[in-house]
Structure 1
């Protein structure tokens, strides 16, 4: 297959030309148009590496599309997978939560079904994207470590993150923000909220530290990439670094992002933060980190289409000082390398032919076609 008349977004430059695929890999590319008959006309669009998504809980929405609605697993997985490739994502780490912040949450109930659906569809070869597992470990919970120990040996586990959403910690350093979020989420009265807060503090005191230590030690022994989550202070980052974390997911402050960079952690921020112009929970804005050179990876988090959109927005922002190849690395090469996937994430000879053809139409970046290992999936 030859894709002609495209702007190739290479590692450090954009080149007008063509690209050839054979046996699922990139055979070659050139800064001239191909004259081979049957070459696909890219109509002057950008040809990018397939996007690599490290943290999305998008699958949850399809298993429970409405409260108390339990959707069939095969249909939920198929719909989620289709949305991923329609957003240009060819490698996705589906984040599953171990140890819910509230017993009986949909995520805990759906855990086995979601993991089973991911693994079954991968074995059958019916997924359009390459799906892997990201174990999100909610530390202040008695079920977290046993669940982790059951799942960590699964073949698809590529990332583990350590999170603590108890009051006064990281994302919820502000008790007021904590109460506002959970009262709204669970429709709690003031009395119920006070009881819930007390319960979460008790759980955190009992389980957070031993779970953090045990899970991190197991990841180090197995060579699984470890990520921190919502670090807010330099002390948080120091702890994360000492445990072996190499990715800092969603640092909530400039101080934490700066400390992450000093300790060699790759800073991951949410693409919706870029698209919306800031954090929905009042944390540091991702575009500010981009402007100060403290951004390494973007994740679509809860909105898949935000990933490619955010990369182009960064490149378009004159205050960021970023060129398009540098911005595209945030969603391709950088996340791939962070989890040791060296066979994808860039347009280079011998790499997997995971490709996205995108155009700007009416000022918006739109995904036109997507290929995974040379096979068109969108």
Structure 2
């Protein structure tokens, strides 16, 4: 079906201005004859949001410890939530860890299998967050990368911090509950994972080689030092995600690399872990991409919070969730409103509420009270 979105202020070429947007055959067109019309008068017509890292789908897979739902069912829920947040391309942060349960190899494979018949709406892609000590899953991860089932490789290294946290009985209970094992079993698994630390660099090299052969981007996660960034840069990871120190972000930007921080950090006014505040770093050009991280709605709200601070205008702030992540991921066909690109559009009120979402040229979600604008 063809659509004309008329009367709104459209984000094109880095600025908001009057105009219409036509969608036909899944793309942005120069006009759409015999089209249905969405009246966007008084609204903002923005490129659909591109989420480089969102793991809120885990709550659809496991809303409570030891309460699991099938991956296909959970991903339908995840897709609907993404659309309601204006997200038209979602890189699901799928953690592949040595932990049983939610982040295990069977859960990873089930997600890949469910994505063979993806739910309608947003394009769901896989951001494989591979834990450094997960030697048992290496072969399956390499096979998934080679088969084109992984679209972004992230290098995670949470095992040392997990082992430290497990000394706290409360944390031990939380991790054991998520994994569905006893506390003693989880401690034994963590100790076994730590026992092969010397072999981690070689496996990282193999993973990086597979990603390069498949032509997918790579990112490093939670870089604490300049040495960390240098290590992952040498592996080919051109995206620095959630740097733990400002000099790390400065170093990545000096090298022309994308730097990712969480949209919840912007919306809440700071990191829930006490790390750097994303908004001022973005205003200085040190953060170039915002990700939903653990909360999809924050990605829609963050550009408006940024604009309200008075340093970046809304067009520049919206680039943090649209064109910049698309560029970092090598997605030349989305993230902007221009003829020939994917028909991914978020229609938003000036206050930041989503009125409608178009995915691949089709109306995929409409907010309460906006149905009267369809003609």
What TM bracket, shorter-length normalisation? 0.7 to 0.9
Question: Once the 2 structures are TM-superposed, how far is the Cα of residue 346 of structure 1 from its aligned partner?
Answer: 0.3
Q: Is the counterpart of residue 353 in structure 1 residue 326 in structure 2?
A: no
CA 1:155–1:166 in 2, change beyond 3 Å: closer, same or farther?
closer
**Equivalent residues in 2 for 1:318-357, closer than 5 Å:** 318=310, 321-357=311-347
Question: Once the 2 structures are TM-superposed, how far is the Cα of residue 96 of structure 1 from its aligned partner?
Answer: 1.5
Partner Cα separation in structure 1 for residue 298 and residue 57 of structure 2: 16
Gaps of 5+ in 1: none
Question: Once the 2 structures are TM-superposed, how far is the Cα of residue 7 of structure 1 from its aligned partner?
Answer: 1.0
Partner Cα separation in structure 2 for residue 298 and residue 85 of structure 1: 17
Partner Cα separation in structure 2 for residue 45 and residue 178 of structure 1: 52
CA contact 1:166–1:200 (8 Å) conserved in 2: no
Match of 2:151 among 153, 158, 163: 158
Match of 2:72 among 71, 74, 87: 74
**Equivalent residues in 2 for 1:79-228, closer than 5 Å:** 79-100=77-98, 102=99, 104-108=100-104, 109-121=106-118, 126-167=119-160, 182-183=171-172, 185-186=174-175, 199=191, 202-203=194-195, 205-228=197-220
Partner Cα separation in structure 2 for residue 73 and residue 222 of structure 1: 25
Question: Once the 2 structures are TM-superposed, how far is the Cα of residue 147 of structure 1 from its aligned partner?
Answer: 2.5
Let me know the Cα RMSD of the aligned residues. Answer: 2.8
CA contact 1:99–1:143 (8 Å) conserved in 2: no
CA 1:74–1:167 in 2, change beyond 3 Å: closer, same or farther?
closer
> What secondary structure, in the 3-state scheme, does the structure 2 residue paired with 1:143 have?
helix
CA 1:20–1:175 in 2, change beyond 3 Å: closer, same or farther?
same
- Structure-1-length-normalised TM-score: 0.86
Range 253-262 or range 63-72, more displaced: 63-72
Q: Is the counterpart of residue 371 in structure 1 residue 367 in structure 2?
A: no
Partner Cα separation in structure 2 for residue 91 and residue 6 of structure 1: 23
Partner Cα separation in structure 2 for residue 291 and residue 202 of structure 1: 39
- Structure-2-length-normalised TM-score: 0.86
Partner Cα separation in structure 2 for residue 134 and residue 93 of structure 1: 5
Question: Once the 2 structures are TM-superposed, how far is the Cα of residue 183 of structure 1 from its aligned partner?
Answer: 3.9
CA 1:166–1:223 in 2, change beyond 3 Å: closer, same or farther?
same
Gaps of 5+ in 2: 178-182, 366-375
Question: Once the 2 structures are TM-superposed, how far is the Cα of residue 155 of structure 1 from its aligned partner?
Answer: 2.7
Question: Once the 2 structures are TM-superposed, how far is the Cα of residue 370 of structure 1 from its aligned partner?
Answer: 0.6
**Equivalent residues in 2 for 1:243-262, closer than 5 Å:** 243-262=235-254
CA contact 1:226–1:244 (8 Å) conserved in 2: yes
Partner Cα separation in structure 2 for residue 200 and residue 251 of structure 1: 28
> What secondary structure, in the 3-state scheme, does the structure 2 residue paired with 1:281 have?
coil
CA 1:248–1:144 in 2, change beyond 3 Å: closer, same or farther?
farther
> What secondary structure, in the 3-state scheme, does the structure 2 residue paired with 1:267 have?
strand
Question: Once the 2 structures are TM-superposed, how far is the Cα of residue 265 of structure 1 from its aligned partner?
Answer: 1.7
Question: Once the 2 structures are TM-superposed, how far is the Cα of residue 179 of structure 1 from its aligned partner?
Answer: 5.5
Between the two proteins, the alignment pairs up a number of residues equal to 356
> What secondary structure, in the 3-state scheme, does the structure 1 residue paired with 2:353 have?
strand
CA contact 1:59–1:80 (8 Å) conserved in 2: yes
